A and B are shown apart, each in its own frame.
Chain A
Amino acid sequence: DTGVSQDPRHKITKRGQNVTFRCDPISEHNRLYWYRQTLGQGPEFLTYFQNEAQLEKSRLLSDRFSAERPKGSFSTLEIQRTEQGDSAMYLCASSPSGFGETQYFGPGTRLLVL
């Protein structure tokens, strides 16, 4: 399967712990996006990369959140000192480098903070 993959698919953690999620985009896609989706809501934009450069960050991305894409391939999203409000589905998407291209989404990582 050559789609977007995310790991892990589910994560349960205790409040205050750090968690890290991984996203592997479609191989020829230069752009990679992170979104967060809470129950009953549409996804909300967090951040996006063009190759290894992080070009935009949402105000939702507090200083406890950090995202990287070190070699312009896979990306990681880390949440430090998790809070119950961080419980959500974290979605990754990728797209080719042209403007306005379709974004292809992965299956998501569902995070539950106890």
Chain B
Amino acid sequence: KQEVTQIPAALSVPEGENLVLNCSFTDSAIYNLQWFRQDPGKGLTSLLLIQSSQREQTSGRLNASLDKSSGRSTLYIAASQPGDSATYLCAVNRNFGNEKLTFGTGTRLTIIP
């Protein structure tokens, strides 16, 4: 059974700093990995999707990397802003034909102005 872990559960950093969020998964037989953002009481917003054949994806100040063989992904946020405060979730999609996402428990990020 696939298990996804995100450490730390919560993180606070001063505005302007660069930061890294971590995600690990136990079964490397994944099709892709996605990073989502969730604001309190709201739904999920997709940030980045990395196919299993890719090593990284970038969107603006966000960069996500994937090391499938070691079961790890990181989300790098550059020049953090107070608006980045949210819970960040990673999710993996198993091999071809199985469409359900398995989520981690998330990292709650607070950017201190």
Interface residues of A (CB under 8 A from B): 4, 31, 33, 35, 40-45, 48, 55-56, 58, 91, 93, 95, 99-100, 102-108, 110
Q: Are B105 and A41 in contact (CB under 8 A)?
A: yes
Q: Are B43 and A42 in contact (CB under 8 A)?
A: no
Interface of B is mostly: strand
Q: Are B99 and A48 in contact (CB under 8 A)?
A: yes
Interface residues of B (CB under 8 A from A): 4, 31-32, 34, 36, 41-46, 49, 51, 89, 91, 93, 96-106
Contacting B105 at CB < 8 Å: which of A4, A35, A42, A93? Answer: A42
With A31-B99, A41-B105, A45-B101 known as contacts, the answer to whether A102 contacts B43 (CB < 8 A) is no
How many pairs of residues, A versus B, come closer than 8 Å at their CB atoms?
63
Contacting A106 at CB < 8 Å: which of B43, B96, B97? Answer: B43
Q: Are A91 and B44 in contact (CB under 8 A)?
A: yes
Bound: A99/B99 CA distance, A: 7
Closest to B102 in A: A45
Q: Are B46 and A103 in contact (CB under 8 A)?
A: yes
Q: A33 to nearest B CB, angstroms? A: 7
Q: Which of A45, A106, A110 has the most CB of B within 10 A?
A: A45
